[in-house]
Copies of this chain bind each other. A is one copy, B any other.
């Protein structure tokens, strides 16, 4: 086999990169669990008709086929396989979660708060920060029949906390941009623009194509007059961290005669979110009236999140409120949720050198082996250390100690342990442990020696920032 090359769009990390990813995942999970979210996993596949239900062909679904069926319809049919539903890999965690809720509704307690951390697949053309296989970390709350508004305040604050926890290892601060569909829709309808989706689609392009082109699109595709287009752009230009934003939107609506009951409801909600955020996550949540989110199933709050200083990466955590996450006809399940693009985040942390692992292996200690005949002594020392929760490796061969120390050094293992024994001339030696960074060597007892706290487990620290 020739040396294989990476597959574009399918990222893999070396052990020290995986350690960074694992740290991010463990930290997110801890915050989600502290907030009472239950972890679930769903299968990787869904029936193709469910994946395409919302016309999501842009997600470029990967379709599965069993090899034995390939070009062999007849045999497949004779075994009854062709009757199997066509399956595809999920492209997000929302579609599978909605199906899971319907399938298990009788066994779940609502409102149901769940987190889900899994890989998803999209056959899109790979580019920077856009992968074909990537990890998402989602939280959602779903109600049976109804879901109180306060969860729309709660969820972005949980994400603010989860992402904020990562600042201690060098992850840049985040800014969560929030808007409310009721504000947008209420304002557009108040202006007399009824094709709300067309307006949202145009506004969604603001960052990409600029205000002049959006104005042209609003006229051409949403049927706006130049004046209406200008009012939409004025609304989109409003942003801020305090409830003053609400007053500015209200004043703008009044100036254009665009006040509606729906707008007022939306402004009440947006104001409550901004006020709560100002207390619980000051400086993190920003009302930004240009946030549109292309997807038509959002019905209330919508969220996007940027990494401060890395805004060009796009949103690393998005979501919103949807009145119908799932429905089986008899029951409707509204929800609100956000999804972190973990691979995009981790890829950036690694490529920009923002974060690094303290070592590439878990071991804090390498126990040296004096000669193969006494390997069992080294194994006993390792067992004693592990029994007290100290990750420990044993040297692969009884090479010269210099070589064994280099083995530890290459992996970043900070301590080398020399087991007690008897030298060739019959002298008894004691257990010794050497910090190979400082060169300090001390006598030690396998039953009680402890590494410094920060050395026990491989962990993640801030790197030397590249930008």
Chain A positions within 8 Å of B, measured between CB atoms, are: 1-7, 10-15, 18-19, 21-22, 33-45, 47-48, 50, 52-53, 57, 60-68, 70, 85, 87-89, 99-100, 102-105, 107-109, 111, 113-114, 119, 121, 123, 133, 143, 148, 150-151, 276, 279-280, 326-329, 360-363, 372, 375-376, 379, 383, 386, 389-393, 396-397, 407, 410-411, 457
Contacts and interface: CB of A to CB of B under 8 A. Distances in A.
Contact of A38 (B89, B99, B143, B360): B360
A267 B23 CA distance: 44
Which 8 A-B pairs rank lowest in CB-CB distance, beginning with the nearest? A36-B393, A66-B123, A33-B362, A36-B363, A10-B43, A15-B38, A34-B386, A61-B67
Main secondary structure of the interface of A (DSSP, over half): mixed
A44 B121 contact: yes
Given A103-B4, A121-B44, A276-B376, A39 B19 contact: yes
B102 A36 contact: no
B65 A63 contact: yes
Contact of A62 (B67, B107, B276, B329): B67
A353 B9 CA distance: 42
A411 B34 CA distance: 15
Contacts of A393: 35-36, 113
A344 to B, nearest CB: 16
Given A18-B40, A57-B67, 20 more contacts: A1-B53, A1-B326, A3-B102, A4-B50, A7-B85, A12-B42, A15-B39, A15-B40, A15-B114, A34-B391, A36-B362, A36-B391, A39-B362, A61-B66, A64-B89, A109-B407, A109-B411, A113-B361, A148-B396, A280-B383
B68 A123 contact: yes
Contact of A39 (B7, B22, B151): B22
Stoichiometry (number of copies): 2
Given A1-B326, A121-B44, A329-B2, A65 B65 contact: yes
A105 B70 CA distance: 35
27 contacts: A3-B103, A3-B328, A4-B102, A4-B103, A7-B47, A13-B40, A14-B40, A14-B104, A15-B108, A15-B114, A33-B391, A35-B392, A36-B362, A38-B361, A43-B133, A44-B44, A45-B133, A52-B67, A57-B68, A61-B66, A61-B67, A63-B65, A63-B70, A65-B65, A68-B123, A111-B396, A148-B396
A42 to B, nearest CB: 6
Contacts of A3: 102-103, 105, 328
Nearest to A389: B34
A32 to B, nearest CB: 8
A130 to B, nearest CB: 15
B66 A60 contact: yes
A99 B12 CA distance: 12
B150 A375 contact: yes
Contacts of A62: 64-67
A109 B359 CA distance: 12
Contact of A63 (B52, B66, B105, B143): B66
Contacts of A7: 43, 45, 47, 85, 87
B33 A67 contact: no
Nearest to A109: B410
A96 to B, nearest CB: 9
A243 to B, nearest CB: 15
Nearest to A365: B36
Most chain-B CB neighbours within 10 Å: which of A36, A276, A397?
A36
A64 B66 contact: no
A361 B141 CA distance: 13
